[in-house]
Chain A
């Protein structure tokens, strides 16, 4: 799950994000309406190139986004922080460049909550990320969500730093 960016850079970005989020106004509890059910679409195989990931591939997405494939959340929150908005804008740019690509947004929670609630919270976070991408012009039929609750931590420690890294939504494009 740890893609591209160095841990230090990610942590700095994260701290900044948390600081900004603390000042940001609270979003409404009610989420924007669901844009509609996802539709199956086939993707033509990407053309391989000699060096670097194939343009339009998941590897290309990860390399291009440099850590911005993942957004982070405050404890028990699902609002999109200014930092997360910037990351989602980068994701949207890539997705607009490759309009045939579909993506799944994986929502996660830290381990300091009950299992079932964290499943619902992960779904909320993934949906919040999806709705923001849709607001940036991505066709909702290209985006699906899945929650892993606290079942798939990226950072394995039991401390605030690890929990902050695990409260996340990761966008994974479908090759």
Chain B
């Protein structure tokens, strides 16, 4: 239990690390206009109609001391500085908190001004917040990124972080800068420097090819992992990114595999002749939950990642499936049709004290516990399929989306954004979407082809 708690802390531990890097908070907080969204918007109800305005953030191109060649895809440090600012701008868009203006609409910044901005000039442009940064090439080929956030009116620095990155990781520096800005201004934990596993879908509706794929949280660095010869479904990143559990129809039988990312190898989660579905990690990465069908009945099992015997956690006729650990690892929320239709239940991690928590009509499926522990996201089915959240006690249910078919929510590492997939009626086209906890800020995640079953990994160290 102690080990699990420690790991849970580590999982959410990126915030304190960043907090140590940023400068002390100003005596006067950022102007109130920036706050309501952070204070109430993200936790308030969907019907919340209080006024707030998005904070204007100017993000000009990062400066460079000397335009030097780099081994990045963005070119020398000059164009690279511009690309970094563009990524930060894209990250901070569409979350309801900020109104970022990118380098395309802003003047360049002399290198000396990175540490001493022209505050009156930026105030004259209407910017409330200002991101400045620099990118320089080190002699060994690595890159040094400097990232600063200023309050224009207070003429005060709020964030100053710097990172040295290998050229291939240059986008991560931009995400880390966006994370630092987001965390400082919203008071929430960061989440941009993270990866997403999902299922890439191509081909006609009746014979879709479904491949396991991974990408950065903004859709960059896309990579297919499986060839598509066998249907792949429902991936989940391990908390340390080293493995992905997913369902594969390899050899014609649907079973859960544990895929090793670095070694490009995989093994069955359990040596059984029965079909296995719906894999999930424990927060400490030591256990895998999976569901197994025997004689038509499906129940939830737990197995150590290292292997060994499985422990059966549910034992009722019908379909018990899925399962998502609370952040402290002590409880599991899961789906069962033991009452006659799909509903959400909670049990202790050892399978004891199973009780239903969803009592609001319709069916409730695919529950996922927030990494903050305060909410459970799920799919509510009453005709249409919609993404909804409720408290771990089953109270305060509210919808985040309203479309024909939205399903399979998973959480951003900071527990503030829910990701899911949307299916189009008729064509069957699928796409990935993100919505914040107010339900107001919805955005489609770009993918090269149709996409489903998104699963976020934690913030990278």
Q: Which residues of B contact A113 (CB under 8 A)?
A: 342, 365, 381
The A-contacting residues of B in range 345-372, CB under 8 angstroms, are: 365-366
B412 within 8 A of A: no
With A114-B365, A114-B379, A120-B291: A152-B425 Cβ-Cβ less than 8 Å: no
5 A-B pairs closest in CB distance = A127-B296, A34-B295, A120-B298, A158-B425, A123-B293
How far, in angstroms, from A131 to B254 measured CA to CA in the complex? 20
Contact between chains at A151 and B293 (CB < 8 Å) = no
Distance (Å) between the CB of B247 and the closest chain A CB?
8
Report yes or no: B407 in contact with A151, Cβ–Cβ below 8 A. no
Complex Cα distance, B278 from A121, in Å, reads 13
Residues in chain A near residue B204, CB distance under 8 A: 156
Known: A146-B254, A147-B254, A151-B233. A117 touches B342 (CB 8 A): yes
Contacts of A115 in B (CB 8 A): 233-234, 407-408, 452-453
Contact between chains at A76 and B321 (CB < 8 Å): no
The answer, yes or no, to whether B253 is at the interface (CB within 8 Å) is: yes
Residues on B with C-beta less than 8 A from A34 are 294-295
**Min C-beta distance of B320 to chain A, whole Å:** 9
- Offer 23 A-B interface pairs, CB within 8 angstroms, sorted by A: A1-B206, A29-B317, A30-B317, A33-B295, A112-B381, A113-B365, A115-B234, A116-B278, A116-B335, A116-B366, A117-B321, A117-B342, A117-B366, A120-B293, A124-B297, A126-B296, A131-B296, A146-B252, A147-B254, A151-B233, A152-B206, A156-B204, A156-B428
Chain A 100-121: CB-based contact to B (< 8 A → 1; otherwise 0): 0000000000011111110111
A117-B321, A123-B298 known; A152+B426 contact, CB < 8 A: no
Q: How far, in Å, is A25 (CB) from chain B's closest CB? A: 16
Shortest CB-to-CB span from B367 to chain A, Å, is: 11
Smallest distance from the beta carbon of B275 to chain A beta carbons, Å? 6
> Roughly how many angstroms separate A115 CA and B235 CA in the complex, as a whole number?
12
A32 to B, closest residue via Cβ: B295
CB distance from A135 to the nearest CB of B (A): 14
A121 and B408: CB pair below 8 A? no
| 8 Å CB contact of A158 from B252, B322, B408, B426 | B426
Q: Interface of B with A (CB < 8 Å)? A: 204-208, 210, 231, 233-234, 247, 252-254, 273, 275, 277-278, 291, 293-298, 317-319, 321-322, 335, 337, 341-342, 365-366, 379, 381, 385, 405, 407-408, 423, 425-426, 428, 452-453
A31 touches B (CB below 8 Å): yes
Q: Which residue of A lies closest to B383 (CB)?
A: A112
A23-64: CB near B (< 8 Å → 1, else 0) gives 000000111111001000000000000000000000000000
Closest to A30 in B: B317
B-chain residues with CB within 8 Å of residue A156 when the two chains form the complex: 204-206, 428
Task: Choose among A119, A128, A152 the residue with the greatest number of B CB atoms under 10 Å from its CB.
Answer: A119
Distance in angstroms between the alpha carbons of A33 and B321 in the assembled complex? 20
B205 near A153 (CB under 8 angstroms)?
A: yes
Across the interface, do B317 and A123 meet the contact criterion of CB distance under 8 Å? no
Once the chains are docked, how many angstroms separate the CA of A112 from the CA of B295? 24
Cβ of B206 and Cβ of A120 under 8 Å apart? no
Please measure, in the bound complex, the distance between the C-alpha atom of A146 and the C-alpha atom of B428, giving whole angstroms: 23
CB nearest to A151 among chain B residues: B231
| Chain A residues whose C-beta falls within 8 Å of the C-beta of B366 in the assembled complex | 114, 116-117
B319–chain A nearest beta-carbon distance, Å: 4
Q: For the complex, what is the distance from the CA of A24 to the CA of B293, rounded to whole Å?
A: 26
A137 to B254, CA, bound (A): 28
Min CB gap A83→B, angstroms: 20
**Besides A115-B408, A152-B207, 15 new A-B residue pairs in contact (Cβ under 8 A), listed by A number:** A31-B296, A116-B322, A117-B321, A117-B335, A117-B365, A119-B254, A119-B275, A119-B278, A146-B254, A151-B208, A153-B428, A154-B206, A156-B206, A156-B428, A158-B425
- Whether A7 is near chain B, meaning CB under 8 Å from some CB there, is no
